[in-house]
Structure 1
């Protein structure tokens, strides 16, 4: 029987986040303003024709799993691979490692977008912080690190948007924020998971040491209607 992580984009967009997405039973995307991610019932045979009415020319979308040439009316902008990791079942942190972290909300959207645009942690939009809990580190009035939650399905909860301003790296901010989220997710009975680009060996190694294990490595593409 397929595991929910095998097609997590679709399982989230057609399930817990259906009210935050748009599309049909053949293809769905997050509504504009959220992370530009799309999902299909069969990610290896995506129905881009069904998705097209819900997209504007020039929009960029992330999708996974499928290979082959671009479908009619679409262009592949980026192709790479990423690891999908899941918590290996060990106990989480014994205490909150970031009690001083600030919950991020509407007042922090501009700062969160600026940090995401600078550090590029993955697909991120002005409404992404509405998808779950987001926490940040504020230094001298400036958001310098953040991490939060994005996709969810079948008791799984994604940690996403993990990034630190270049001037504040090496201080453990991202790790502490992630551990805070892990602690809270495990307390809710959820299983943390996350994604990392295959080329980002440093982050991948960190996540393995923290207690995640590789679930799979998959193709990830950025596509646009043309």
Structure 2
């Protein structure tokens, strides 16, 4: 398995997102800045890499690992570090958006770029809706876009991992009081459209047991590429 998305975390943090890796990372294992995210990954299954993986997991608790479920790294975990849970994901990719069957959100709603000033609202929305791991500086992986109502951020979407030829759609969420209005679709289309326009493909990770979420992304033009496993380590 040598597709760049098979080991998206490792590949991203050793190439296009290397600036976000901790100074404690090295050629054997890498950890993203805990204020930016939770990702942790090892180079391979060797004893040396597993030892460094264990050191980083203990130095920066609360990490998360995403690996291909049927790949050789799926069960390469830190030694002596408690596993909170292991969650099945579906990795999906898109090279072209499908035409929208209905208008993507109300025509009078503006999508705007989110800035440093929006950071507290972005974190609050992510903590409320839990679209996936989101930390105080996750927005730096963006850019992110959002929809506001009366100055309040009610929906957002952005980018996260980047590997050769692919950029991840992530952080898609809508405040519970404003769901069912097409905001997630509109924001996703905006972000994915920009990714495609840059000459790259889009990808994402959806919970494997969330059939409605997978169907939602299929309707946008995504297809399932591979099963992944998300391992959450103890704080």
TM-score, reference length from structure 2: 0.86
Query: What does residue 7 of structure 1 align with?
Result: 7
Q: Does 1:141 align with 2:141?
A: no
How many angstroms does 1:115 deviate by? 0.7
How many angstroms does 1:45 deviate by? 8.6
Query: What are the Cα deviations for residues 128-169 of structure 1, in whole angstroms up to 9, with x where unaligned?
Result: 111121001111221111100000010200000011111111
Query: What does residue 36 of structure 1 align with?
Result: 38
RMSD of equivalent CA atoms: 2.6
How many angstroms does 1:83 deviate by? 0.4
C-alpha contact 1:92 1:182 (8 A) present in aligned 2: no
Query: What does residue 66 of structure 2 align with?
Result: 64
Unaligned runs of 5+ in 1: none
Unaligned runs of 5+ in 2: 68-72
TM-score, reference length from structure 1: 0.89
Rounded to whole Å, the distance in 1 between the matches of 2:44 and 2:75 is 15
Query: What does residue 80 of structure 1 align with?
Result: 87
Query: What are the Cα deviations for residues 30-85 of structure 1, in whole angstroms up to 9, with x where unaligned?
Result: 11210111122237999443134445567311112345596433010111100000
Rounded to whole Å, the distance in 2 between the matches of 1:43 and 1:93 is 43
Aligned ranges 1:57-136 → 2 under 5 Å: 59-65=61-67, 66-68=73-75, 71-87=78-94, 89-90=95-96, 100-136=110-146
Residues 6 and 45 (structure 1), Cα distance of their counterparts in 2 relative to 1, 3 Å cut = farther
Query: What does residue 204 of structure 1 align with?
Result: 214
SS at 1:78 equivalent: strand
Rounded to whole Å, the distance in 1 between the matches of 2:183 and 2:46 is 37
Number of residue pairs aligned between Structure 1 and Structure 2:
223
C-alpha contact 1:37 1:123 (8 A) present in aligned 2: no
